[in-house]
Amino acid sequence: MVAGIVWFSMHKHAEERDRSVRVQNLRECFERREFAAQAAPQRVRTHFFTALVRLDEALKAERVLGWLRHQEISVDWYVNQALEGSAGSSEEASMIGTALQNAYHEVRRHDILALPAERDRLLSGSEPTATAGLFAGDPLVFGYRVSPVIVPELRNHPANFILQPQTAWAMQQDIVDSSTVSIVRQFHTAGILSKPVFDRFLADYGPRQNQAVTTKND
């Protein structure tokens, strides 16, 4: 009986230690100083792509443990733990978490993480290629919810990142509309954009809503 309790305690401690390592590996992909527009975009993109691989590794480990315990730790839990201390507000953390989860589901949907070669591409900061679904063979393009042409301060912020098949991306038209204004307002409310930057955006683009803006060559 005592031996069983000791074994369980040691196993539980090892499990928590391994989970802490996985959280730390994910947390290292979000260095706050790199959120600034002046940071090197390629380095920031590499970290974001690496976060997708690290998150997948963590969730695979949890699935094994979940099968043993009949309980799994969710994507939300890992994202929240990894972003603790990296975001300036809970709203900012939520927006980063949403962007990361959306990108993760996108690479899962296109069966990218199942192939070692595509995982290696992500770890090197290169855009992966969809291997399944309607867009099989299409590169997944790294893009932005709000183009840096419109708001340069959002160039390197992970909450602004998206992944999308190149064909789908090419079909979209760049227009600053009420949706764009709403998204930029979210960034301001979350403390990501200062009031002067937000006011400048409104002054520059508010009167020109629904007009096409060239942004895809940035």
pLDDT, one tens digit per residue, over 51-62 is 999 999 988 888
Output the pLDDT for position 66. Answer: 61
d(CA 147, CA 174): 9
37 Cβ contact list (under 8 Å, min separation 6)? 148, 152, 153, 154, 155, 156
Strands 161-165 and 140-144: antiparallel
Q: Which helix (H) or strand (E) holds 212?
A: strand 211-212
Q: How confident is the model at residue 8 (pLDDT cuts 50, 70, 90)?
A: very low
pTM of the model: 0.81
* DSSP letter string, 44-95: HHHHHHHHHHHHHHHHHHHHHHHHHHT----HHHHHHHHHTTTSSSHHHHHH
Sorted by where each begins, the domain ranges of the chain are: 2-212
What residue has token string 């602004």?
160
Angle at the Cα of 25 (from 32 to 146), degrees rounded to 5? 40
**80 neighbors 97 (Cβ within 8 angstroms):** yes
Please state the rounded mean pLDDT for residues 41-46: 87
Return the structure tokens found at 91.
């709203």
DSSP single-letter state for residue 29? T
Whether the predicted pLDDT of 98 surpasses 80: yes
